[in-house]
Structure 1
């Protein structure tokens, strides 16, 4: 069945209203435009994100159900505490954004390709340079073994992707991220769409309308640039 999608203008970073998003596939809202910093910030500020495969036009989504981690959802369990001590792990912010996004873009097992295409990587590097996109890294001594990246809108962190080279290191990166956010007075993490891994970690599903209200509440406040300077999150390790 043919579907109609609004095509975005190259000169206008506005988006259609969210109630125009399709129900099948769920949340598909528009196509085209570009991945400029201005358009991406406009998108995330309106509960919209890009997601497309190689050979496709840029596709923009706002699904009817969002996965989020509420404050205090993510904690260091016994397994993580043992791994921190055993492997001498440390967590950091923004020490290796480029490396994190490369690792996230690497094809996963049983997946022939990646949606984090070179143009996507370039776009989020631009956001990082402008202070909007951030990474959390997990280090085993000097080796990067896990991490995640995403976009900060006010005090709401919109997660994009994560990876691990050692079991549980993506979970540890999530714990470290929420720890950092709660130091700044919030703690909410948007994970876009629910999946089994996120649900196992405690993510809850909320409606698009509830997510928009959350975004309005926390997206209007800001943190300082110093809060996201490259630094180690020693408090995470010291809780072990």
Structure 2
């Protein structure tokens, strides 16, 4: 079986498909219909999370330990059997990270990685892949800062692939694949940078509070 490459991933994402590995390591490509997205502008952090954010319970970093986040996401979970994140998947996305397209948002407590998420950023779209947490609220705070980062850098599409209970709590909705492909085409034409604290010439237009 030919190893998955960073070029394969880029080709897939710009054409609306993404890979997942089966337990035997076989990689399949998916393009669900309907497609799940999270509207960037309408997301609001839960009131219960605001004290955690305001107290700065977690230190947030971007791209400091991308592979560590992937391994955290691939680790066994009590409520799920198996994982779709194989070693081949980790290797390919790590290479994509090295050339500047894959990113991680990481939550630290006492300098220890305790949660985070990763995904792929191309043009004005962020393709969310997976998240994990070791401490309660760590992944939720990482997601909050993902939204803040996307807003500050004027991203227009946050893809979350499939609908499930986890993404529903962040406001995910389903749209027809044809609608998704139209949004994707528009977003890919934009030139955006994935920066946690971009230079501000004016007050941000959006706030999660």
Deviation at 1:143, TM superposition (A): 2.0
Relative to structure 1, the CA distance from residue 34 to residue 211 in structure 2 (aligned partners, 3 Å threshold; closer, same or farther) is farther
**Among 110, 113, 116, which residue is 1:141 paired with?**
110
Question: Which residue does 2:52 correspond to in 1?
Answer: 83
- TM-score w.r.t. structure 1 length? 0.76
> Alpha carbon RMSD of aligned pairs, Å?
2.4
Q: Secondary structure at the match of 2:161?
A: coil
1:106 paired residue among 31, 55, 75 = 75
For residues 167 and 125 of structure 1, what CA distance do their matches in structure 2 show? 26
Residue 14 of structure 1: aligned partner: none
Larger Rg: 1
Alignment of 1:209-228 (within 5 A): 209-224=178-193, 227-228=194-195
Matches of 1:142 and 1:93, distance apart in 2:
14
Q: Secondary structure at the match of 1:50?
A: strand
Q: Name the residue aligned to 1:67.
A: 36
User: CA 1:144–1:223 in structure 2 vs 1: closer, same or farther (change >3 Å)?
Assistant: same
State how far apart, in whole Å, the 1-side matches of 2:166 and 2:38 are.
12
Show structure 2 runs of 5+ residues with no match. Answer: 201-207
Q: CA separation in 1, counterparts of 2:34 and 2:88?
A: 27
Match among 124, 128, 135 for residue 155 of structure 1: 124
State the match for 1:25 in structure 2.
Answer: none
Contact 1:156–1:190, Cα closer than 8 Å, also in 2: yes
- For the 8 Å contact 1:179–1:187, the answer to whether it is kept is no
User: Within the alignment, does 1:58 sit opposite 2:58 as a pair?
Assistant: no
How does the TM-score come out when normalised to structure 2? 0.87
Question: 2:89 aligned with 1:120, yes or no?
Answer: yes
Cα distance in 1, alignment partners of residues 11 and 128 from structure 2: 16
User: Taking structure 1 as reference, are residues 91 and 232 closer, same or farther at Cα in structure 2, changes over 3 Å only?
Assistant: farther
Contact 1:67 1:191 in 2 (8 A): yes
Q: Deviations over 1:198-230 (max 9, x none)?
A: 112211111111110111011121224xx44xx
1:158-210 Cα deviation digits (max 9, x unpaired):
01110111223222222211111111112421111000121122111111111
CA gap of 1:56–1:94, structure 2 versus 1, over 3 A, is: closer
User: Between Structure 1 and Structure 2, how many residues are aligned?
Assistant: 202
Q: Is contact 1:178–1:188 with CA below 8 Å preserved after alignment?
A: no
Deviations 1:66-113 (A, max 9, x none): 111112233333221212345622222111111111100101114342
Q: Does 1:193 align with 2:167?
A: no
Distance 2:87 2:65 in 1: 17
